[in-house]
Structure 1
Amino acid sequence: MLLAVVGFALVTQVRSTAAQDEYAGYQEQDLVDVLTGLSVAAERAESELTQLRAARDDLLTDSRSRQAALERVREEATDLAILAGAVPVTGPGLRLTLTEESGRLQVEDLVDTVQELRTAYAEAIELDDTVRVVAQTPFRDAVGGIEVGGVELSAPYVLEVVGDPAALRGALTFAEGPLELLDRAGVEVTIEELDRVDVESVVDVAGPGVAPGDAAQ
């Protein structure tokens, strides 16, 4: 161990002596020039290091931006799939039961009810656990009831709607709104606010259809 320490000391002394010998013959101006050169080299190295750090930060920022963009694309794709009725939806919402008491439910009244629910940002609407109602779903009169999306349904009609329960209820209960008009037509409407509504039916998004507004005309 002692020999190793002595050896290290000798090497250090030799290197120091060599460095001193190297600059021993330098004039004052020469030494100033050497120091200036070393200072410039150090500044250049620091500048390059700063640039490398900035490049690293830019790469990290770009990576985060790309990740955020991918998340936005996924969210938009999910929203579009829900609007198109291509995927099941679960969430809080309403269950509406329309019972023909003293009158018959008219197509235009059902379409108006659906439109008001959509205006209140209903995420998903389903009729009788069978038909997913989207913007292109056709509504038509049928002998025994109403044909919705090519499926003939009859009273009582059950609408299950995913969305903000308070907003959905408000879209139905305002003056001269769907609830009041249906009551005048002899159709009783029961509204249940639910913490969980499962809309499981889906539509073939490739198939063309007629918008509810067009079907009522």
Structure 2
Amino acid sequence: MTMKESERGDGGPGNGRPDTGADERPAEPAGLRGLAALLRPRVSRGQLAGGVLCLLLGFAVVAQVESTGRDTTFATARQDELVGILSDLGQRSERLRGDLRELEETRAELERDAEGETALEEARERAATYGLLAGTVPAEGPGIEMVVGDPGGGVKAINLLDALEELRDAGAEVVQVNNVRAGVDTYFLDGPGGILADGEPLTAPYRFLAIGDPHTMTTALNIPGGLVKTLQGAGASVLINPRAKVTVGAIRSP
């Protein structure tokens, strides 16, 4: 058999032709295969990472736009809206300034009232002090009662004046002798009928009421060689009673 007859064989195996079994798919044309290869998506890792970054950037831009949108309300408002807003703000500001002025006036009034009340209280205290010094108002407080008996008539005006001065030096604020309120200009005189205090006659026993510290005055009167010893040397008896409350009711004419 020649080569040509072999090439015209029945096409079985080994005859040089491809196997065309029943499961063989028909071959696609070369042009379609090239087009499909061009249309098939080709995604690399770098492209995927770039896409994710773009997505995140988009979310950030949207969030920023929403945030700035709230801050640009006035920028996007119309002119008449801005005029209304400014007018409302001006009215509110004026009302607040008015409230502030009222509060400041109220504070000033309260301060004036407080200062006036303080000044009035100080004036009352000064008046009370002057009244006590002048002897024009009654007084009450702790002190002593000193009774000087003079059975022999040996007590003189100078002795009573010394008693008043000793009490004052010991801190007596108010002194009454019998029914006479002692003042800054009180004087004692020896008269034909006895001792006079500011022109008023005094009769024994001589009773001193003094408001002040009881202990200090008692100690001062009883010092060795002091008033008590002097009065006793003149034949008088001296009795001193400290008291928690002494009432001086005698007053002097203004």
Does TM, scored on the shorter chain, surpass 0.5? yes
Consecutive aligned runs of 4 or more in structure 1 exceeding 4 Å deviation: none
Say whether 1:43 aligns with 2:93: yes
| Cα distance change, pair 95–27 in 1 and its aligned pair in 2 (3 A) | closer
Q: Do the aligned partners of 1:145 and 1:155 also contact (CA within 8 Å) in 2?
A: no
In structure 2, the residue corresponding to 1:167 is in which secondary structure?
Answer: helix
SS at match of 1:136: coil
* Whole-angstrom distance in 2 between the partners of 1:91 and 1:38: 68
1:165 alignment partner AA? P
Counterpart in 1 of 2:209?
Answer: 160
For 1:39, give the aligned amino acid: L
2:196 partner SS: strand
Q: TM-score, normalised by structure 2?
A: 0.60
- The 8 Å contact of residues 173 and 212 in structure 2, kept in 1 or not, is answered as yes
CA shift digits 1:127-164 (9 cap, x unpaired): 22x21111122211124532112122233211112233
Give identity over the alignment, percent: 29
Q: Which has the higher contact order (CA 8 A, sep 6+)?
A: 1
Q: State the number of aligned residues.
A: 179
Identify the residue that residue 124 of structure 1 maps to in structure 2: 174
State whether structure 2 residue 159 is matched by structure 1 residue 147.
no
2:238 is paired with a residue whose SS is: strand
**RMSD of Structure 2 on Structure 1 (CA):** 2.7
The residue aligned with 2:120 is 70
1:28–1:91 distance in 2 versus 1, CA, 3 Å? same
Residue 69 of structure 1 deviates from its aligned partner by 2.0
Q: Which of the pair is proportionally richer in strand?
A: 1
Q: For residues 126-205 of structure 1, what are the structure 2 equivalents within 5 Å?
A: 126-128=176-178, 130-205=179-254
List alignment gaps of at least 5 residues for structure 2: 1-75
Decide which of 96, 99, 113 is 2:146's aligned counterpart: 96
- State whether residues 99 and 157 of structure 1, in contact with CA within 8 Å, keep that contact through their aligned partners in structure 2: yes
Structure 1: gaps of 5 or more residues: 1-25, 206-217
Larger Rg: 2
TM-score (norm 1): 0.68
Question: In the alignment, residue 112 of structure 2 is paired with which amino acid?
Answer: D
